[in-house]
Amino acid sequence: MNHWIGAPIDRADGILKVTGEASYAADFNFENLIYGIPILSTCAKGKVVKIDDSDALKIPGVLTILTSQNTPEFFPAKSDFGTASQMGEIRLPLQDETIHYAGQYLGVVLAETLESAEEAEKLVKVLVEEEPPILEMEKNLSQAYSPKAFFGEPLPVIRGNFEKAFSEAEIKLEEIYTTPVEHHNPMEPHASIAVWDGENLTLYESTQWVVGARNVVADALKLPREKVKIISWFVGGGFGCKGFIWPHTLLSSLAAMQMKRPVKVLLSRRHLFTTVGHRPATCQKLTLGASRSGKISALKHHTITHTSFVGEFLEGSGGASQNLYDFPNLQVIYQVVRLNKGTPTFMRAPGESTGLFALESLLDELSYKLKIDPIELRLKNYAERHPETGLPWSSSNLKECLQIGAEKFGWKNRNPDPGSMKQGNLSLGWGMAVSMFPGFRSPGSARVKILPDNTARVESATQDMGTGTYTTMKQIAAEILSLPPEKINSFLGDSSYPAAPISGGSMTSASVGPAVEAAAKKALQHLIDTAIKDKASLFYRCSPDDLQAKNGNLIFKTDPSKAETFGEILLRNNLPFLEGEAFIKPDQPDKKYAFQSHGAQFAEVLVDPYLKTIRLNRMVGIFDVGKILNLKTARSQAIGGMIMGIGMALYEKTVYDLTTGRVVNDNLSDYLIPVMADIPSIDVEFIDKPDPYFNSLGVRGLGEIGITGTAAAIANAVYHATGIRIRDLPITLEKLL
């Protein structure tokens, strides 16, 4: 019997993508299509006094311009399906004249052609009463507030008695680590096409959550949810910024309703720096007390971050300190400052990526102070149980990750003295860090149909952002039905399919995968039941326990020569298909086990001792994420996460004009991200042991763990090469100089 789960098969959507046949949101076209281009505020705070669109309306092909003066009321979305369906910012678009950030929507130009819309947008004159904006977090700490909760968990987090343990500690450390604003910049910019058919609305959308998008749009327009359909067959990256719904989607829907024609609203690269979220900056002060042997007795993790005046978002950087190591006395504290910038949102491993840069850098500093190997230090503080809840881990192989990673990297050959290792004329640096991400899962549904042509069809209202969901859905169904994956077709990205959660929190495989498995089992059971009730079948009145599926046939377990194809059974009974549908709701909150993924990363850098240029030479990442569904797509995900961590460590930083609040580097020429020439050899390996308690497949998500720990491993390698500790990302040559 073939085992398809875990096999490194090619992507189901690979050929479509490389040949350009995959249809992304902006690729759909319709007759009488109208184009919409947003009008953005050029100041960060103020009030619109007047919008003069007279010159813009003279451009041939311009139909109308939506502003706060002619846009009807939108309505907020209701919470649904386990996670709140919501707008990216609380303020609904074009509902008043107040300006809260540069780049805020002030209107939308609607025209017959894209060129006309773009030309008209430049001619719209906006008169604004400007006010001094609040743009700098550090200079406005007097206005900071302390949030009371984070995802329903009360704040601050207090464990033990930090003050007493810190005062008694033999070794004390206190350092500040800062991370800048980062923007997601997926390859595919956001787009939305709205098409009305009578009372029904179809949206072709680039989204990480077709069900959530449907709910938000329906609620905002006061439509029954069954009247709205979201299509998102392919998503060219999201990383969090396509998780919630932003103003352009509501405005395309409203415009199409008013104009009674399809409307396409396209965002350019510069729009992605203003209206669809970002990772907020953090200033993290870590205070640590430890024994001379390396056991940490006290840790305080104080994070200062920012949100907007039109939304609420917290970068939970203290989560890693709370959930990773055995720190008996802990304080996790947050302060948030409201700034005249757009609302932050989830960005790959929100909180864990920024928090682990600080925590894993601090542990590296402690290892040098105590002259203890960095791996040994982490093992001294290893948590045998979840440090916050005290629950046993459902599965934890962090020690194995550290051991395998150290062996593959050659860590035993490391000279611990900074600046002691050389490669030619360059300083060689080795660094390591631990990775982690919580094990999340949500309710998920799927439908599997067995068809008369000996193929099967899998349906779920989930999404594939390039993570491989099309492929893994096929593999799970193939395993249960004993059909080759090429005989199974996956259908997703359509809100009319069985509901599934957001593709975020690394939970798509853990939530949708078990639903596909259960649906396939139901479909197969229906096939067996049909056969044993069929007088013309070889299996008439047989016990179901005597039968099994094999390569598109139903066979006797004891005599495989007696077989009937799936198609023969369906055709003989005049059945167009046999289907199974499953809704899997995990046992949450689970009071028996704690679920978390772990990993270890190792980095090697080469630093020019005179010019201080940094070259990343190689990386090793070992990850424990439960059972691997597809080794090829899993490696791709882990490598992609590590590359994003390289960007965080060495390149990415959004720069604001502190007078206007506008983003200065709002393009991929000035906003630096790693390119192929910057990427070293990356060696990825998985523990690949099923988590026996998380779900029926034993699988946890891996979309985000790859970025966690990367920045710290690189920063620690830079210190080892140079003896210079950089605590402010990104690490650049001028900081080393």
Catalytic positions = 704
CB 509 within 8 A of CB 440: no
Please count the other Cβ atoms lying within 10 Å of the Cβ belonging to residue 341: 28
Strand partners, 20: none
Q: Which residue has the tokens 């193939």?
A: 478
Please count the other Cβ atoms lying within 10 Å of the Cβ belonging to residue 187: 10
For residue 372, the number of C-alpha atoms closer than 13 Å in the C-beta half-sphere is 21
Within 451-575, residue ranges assigned H as helices are 469-481, 508-533, 566-572
309's tokens: 């005046």
Please count the other Cβ atoms lying within 10 Å of the Cβ belonging to residue 144: 15
Nearest CA among 364, 447, 371 for reference residue 718: 364
Distances from the Cα of 257 to the Cα of 34, 364, 581, angstroms: 12, 58, 34
CB 210 within 8 A of CB 405: no
- Write the CB contacts of 242 (distance below 8 Å, at least 6 apart in sequence): 186, 190, 206, 207, 208, 209, 235, 276, 465
Distances from the Cα of 679 to the Cα of 189, 238, 618, 639, angstroms: 24, 21, 8, 10
Strands 228-231 and 421-423: unpaired
Angle between helices 352-370 and 710-722 (to 10 degrees): 30
Nearest CA among 323, 369, 374, 380 for reference residue 170: 369
What DSSP assignment string belongs to 564-594? EEHHHHHHHTT-S-EEEEEEE----S-SS-B
- Write the CB contacts of 722 (distance below 8 Å, at least 6 apart in sequence): 418, 419, 427, 429, 607, 609, 612, 736
Strand partners, 393: 594
Distance CA 265, CA 26 (A): 9
- Write the CB contacts of 664 (distance below 8 Å, at least 6 apart in sequence): 655, 656, 657, 670
Nearest CA among 718, 735, 685, 707 for reference residue 357: 707
Residues making up the chain, counted from first to last:
737
Consecutive H or E run containing 134:
none
What are the φ/ψ torsions at residue 322 (nearest 5 degrees)? -75, -30
What are the φ/ψ torsions at residue 602 (nearest 5 degrees)? -130, 135
Strand partners, 158: 331
Nearest CA among 362, 378, 372, 375 for reference residue 410: 375
